[in-house]
Structure 1
Amino acid sequence: MTAIEQGTAGGTLNATTARLDRLGDAVIVIAYIISVALYLRIMAQYMVGFFIPGGSPIWEPVIACASVALIIAIGIFRGFTGLDRLDRISLAAVLVLTTVLGAVLLIHDGTLVTSSTLRLPPPPPVGTLDALLILGGLVITVQGFETVRFLGDEYDAVTRVRASRVAQLVATSIYIGFVLVATPVMGLGTAAGPDSTLLNITARIAPWLALPLVISAVLSQFSAAIADTAAARGNLTGLSSWFSGPRPYLISGAAAIAIAATIPTLVLVTIASRAFAAYYAVEAVIAFRTTSGVLRKCGFALLAVLLLAITLFAQPAS
């Protein structure tokens, strides 16, 4: 982050590296637009799954597209300040609800252990290569720390670096912790078979948490969509002076609506993962060019190759 910004500000940035940086900015805009559509499709999936058992192929894209329009309207009329305020409220609520749900699952796991009824779900019937390709298609679920890099007009470099590191630590603890407490209950199932969604699991072991879970999912996905909308707008304005006023919001919003209306959620997960992997591959090449030391360069080179492989070969979960 700082190496590119300092080189750009001082006019010392290598021409090839500068072109790679602009390529990365263009790729991340595409990734952001796809992820906005994905986050809001997931949000809609939780809402429809709760209120319409069995789901609805019509209401999911309708809700997602309407949500994109709402975020774009807030961005146009209130700007980053309006989006940031809404994002902060959503994030605070999500952290509280996630903590409560995680605690309930942990307590339930404890009862399974003490009663000797703990039964872990069976591993999926796929080979090692297929499993790795599917994991590559899930990059979107564990990314998002690059967003603060593109908020240079609002925060200084030190604040953004610190925010990115703290976000990675907090998110890692949440991801790992939640997988640990949720995995045991996925092996219980019902008379009709094992539960395949967190909403079904929650409704079975703690019915009173089903609605809070939906609220948490709605707020978390809405918050993520807000952050990526703001970041996409910032990148577009940096790419060209033509992207000024409401144009970045309108263009990214129209593209997100088209994607949310036409592409299934699981397919979107893999497409978004590939797009972010492509961006990270470009950034790894830039890091290779701007870092010093043989070990560092080898590490970034290997990372670039791995991310390129994910971009080309990642598979959807089903």
Structure 2
Amino acid sequence: MKFDLIIALATVSVAIVLSMRSVARFALWRAVVTPLASIIGSGFLLLGPILNTGYGGYAPLIMLVLCLAAFLFGGVIRFNIAAGEKSVQNGDYGRAAIRIETIASWTLAFAYIISVSYYLNLLGAFALSLTPFNSGFDAKLLTTGVFIIIVLVGWSRGFKSLEKMEYVSVSLKLAIIAGLLVGLMGHFGHQALNDGLIFNPQKVSGWSAITLAFGLLITVQGFETSRYLGSEYDAKTRIKSMRLAQWLSTAIYLVYILLISYVFRPDQMSSSETGIINMMQIVAPILPFLLVAAALASQFSAAVADTSGSGGLFSELSRNRISERHAYLLLAIIGIALTWSADIYAIVSYASRCFAIYYGLQAALGAVIATKRDAGGLRVGFYAALAVFGAIIAIFGQPVE
């Protein structure tokens, strides 16, 4: 009971700090919040069980590799931001740069469609996880219903009214994550003092371990959102905000995975999408309820943001031949089809592949820009290698079995 109270106090304290006017209105923090929330959103709920079940005691190392890959791709996107998006569109870096940027934008639009399906399927699973209706069929029904609601809202009123809840949902999620980390620190310390730490064996190895990691790229995706905040922040702020968001998310992820990797036996872990709930029940009774609240708030707001972003991209790229309304309808049709034809881990893999293609294209764009700006053969070669790496991830990434 006392431990639950400590976790609750930590959660409330962080929520109060984040809701303070001086914090909420701090420009750099607001610029950091959008990519930070995207990076540590859904992945935070899935990564713990997946990495621990698959990689055992080596889970923190895999987490570090995922964060490093994300940081490398983030670096090339920051380079492209500094080069100037308008300069690319105006042809200052040649026609090849314009073509790559256009293809990358189309890829991102479709990646958003798959990511919305991922968000809402996770929402459906978590929403019913603590109820008598905790079944795959009921979760898919709920996910389908939320898809229909989002499309109806976007079709009739747009998302402006829903977008106002973004900062609130982000603050709630970050506060709950703080409470979760406090709970895990206490549990880890207790296990360590009682010689209860465990180094679990890995279940996947060799090429299978590599391709599984490729399929998890989306769980550290989201930093690219800084690039599309040009109407609100200048290039310098967006570059700084993306870098800070990646550093903060890396620190949070590494601490989280480190704390969770050595305190649960294999029989206490589950690779299901809601496996984290059962694991946290062992730590403290309050944590499953906090995680469900975080899932509902974060997944819905993320789905709204990506639905809106996808609609805007389709409209812009098609020169208004595809309206935002029709883009929302297309998103719902594809999302509902994915919901009923694939499990959440297959959807995660599809989304990871789409984002890998997008990141690879951004790396290729960076190589073209670096060549035009005479930035040096080393930079050009590195960005070209990243482009190839993105293609490899897209081709070989595999879902959790």
- Aligned residues between the structures: 312
Q: Is the 8 A contact 2:91 2:97 kept in 1?
A: no
Superposed counterparts of 1:32-181, under 5 Å: 32-52=112-132, 55-124=134-203, 126-181=204-259
Structure 1 residue runs of 5 or longer lacking an equivalent are: none
| Corresponding position: 1:230 with 2:308 | yes
Q: Which residue of structure 1 aligns with residue 60 of structure 2?
A: none
What one-letter code is carried by the residue in structure 2 that aligns with 1:25?
Answer: S
Superposed counterparts of 1:204-215, under 5 Å: 204-215=282-293
Q: Structure 1 residues 249, 152: closer, same or farther in 2, change over 3 A?
A: farther
Q: Could you give the per-residue CA deviations for residues 221-278 of structure 1, whole angstroms, max 9, x where no partner exists?
A: 2232222222212211220221335233222233222222322111111111111101
- Aligned counterparts of 1:170 and 1:80: Cα–Cα separation in 2: 29
| Corresponding position: 1:194 with 2:194 | no
Deviation at 1:2, TM superposition (A): 4.2
Q: Structure 1 residues 209, 47: closer, same or farther in 2, change over 3 A?
A: same
Q: Is the 8 A contact 1:195 1:201 kept in 2?
A: yes
User: Which residue of 377, 385, 390 maps to 1:302?
Assistant: 385
Deviation at 1:162, TM superposition (A): 3.1
Q: Could you give the per-residue CA deviations for residues 92-133 of structure 1, whole angstroms, max 9, x where no partner exists?
A: 111111110111011010001111111132222x22221111
- Aligned counterparts of 1:155 and 1:72: Cα–Cα separation in 2: 29
User: Which residue of 302, 313, 316 maps to 2:396?
Assistant: 313
Q: Is the 8 A contact 1:22 1:239 kept in 2?
A: yes
Q: Is the 8 A contact 1:151 1:231 kept in 2?
A: no
What one-letter code is carried by the residue in structure 1 that aligns with 2:141?
Answer: V
- Under a length normalisation based on structure 1, what TM-score does the superposition of the two structures give? 0.91
- Aligned counterparts of 1:46 and 1:30: Cα–Cα separation in 2: 25
What one-letter code is carried by the residue in structure 2 that aligns with 1:200?
Answer: N
Q: Structure 1 residues 178, 283: closer, same or farther in 2, change over 3 A?
A: same
What one-letter code is carried by the residue in structure 1 that aligns with 2:388?
Answer: V
What RMSD in Å do the two structures reach over aligned CA positions? 2.0
Q: Is the 8 A contact 1:203 1:210 kept in 2?
A: yes
